[in-house]
Amino acid sequence: MVAPLSIIVPTNDSARDLPDTVTSLFEGLQDGLIKELIICDSTDDKSVETIADKLGAVFIKSAKGRGTQLREGAKYSSGEWMLFLHADTHLGEGWNRIVSDFIDSHPDRVGYFRLKFRRRGFFPHMVAGWANLRSTLFDLPYGDQGLLISRTLYDQIGGFQAIPLMEDVDFCRKLKGKLMMLDGLASTSARRQVKNGWIRSGLGNLWILTRYFLGSSPEDLFNKYYK
């Protein structure tokens, strides 16, 4: 089998997260599923480039903004399929078989994983549950859940937009009716939620999403809430 999958990871001060994320991908390397790992970094942190070199990954420098990084990574990739994965997201055991089956049976669909936080307790369980429900009901998975798409379909919708925020929402809105939850887990860091508080983080995300749907630009939202 010709390895069909390019994995694209945008990084931003992600040196401490990257090794464990890549470790979770080893199953796909061992069975020949992964063609290349592309790390697209937007900082001057040389340690990320060093890690990428040790891992045998393709390293790309990019302008800031996750949408820009994802777009650049896709442009430099060569696989027939792409999996966009955040630097702090770990894929669960058996993910490679799930992805292989999806590629074989759903060439015109887009896959994403079921979200879980690497944190115990009521709030992590509740927030992840809401995210998974939102994904199913509204076709709006978070980027933390990974996005698996064929290059053909990616090109048809114009790919990720070079925007600083809401790149995953913009992307998924163009794929309405084509998104499908995979029978596998993506576990992500709860660092930001623990720092800012689970309720505050959740309400903040909902407010930003609402403003975006009401017409606020990603640039304005980013400048107001993240600068």
pLDDT of res. 224? 78
Domain encompassing residue 34: 5-195
Inter-residue contact 24 to 90 (CB < 8 Å):
yes
pLDDT of res. 44? 86
CA angle 31/35/41 to nearest 5° reads: 125
pLDDT of res. 140? 93
Is 215 a member of any domain? no
For the chain of 227 residues, list the mean pLDDT of each consecutive stretch of 10.
86 90 93 95 90 92 93 96 97 96 96 96 94 94 95 97 94 96 95 89 90 93 78
Is 77 a member of any domain? yes
Is 214 a member of any domain? no
Q: Measure the CA–CA gap between 104 and 206, rounded to whole angstroms.
A: 36
Is 221 a member of any domain? no
Query: CATH number, domain at 25?
Result: 3.90.550.10
Is 65 a member of any domain? yes
Is 145 a member of any domain? yes
pLDDT of res. 1? 54
pLDDT of res. 202? 86
Is 225 a member of any domain? no
Is 105 a member of any domain? yes
Reference 225, options 215, 211, 214; nearest CA is: 211
Give the chain's domain count.
1
At 185 the three-state DSSP class reads strand
Residue 174 in tokens = 């163009």
pLDDT of res. 192? 87
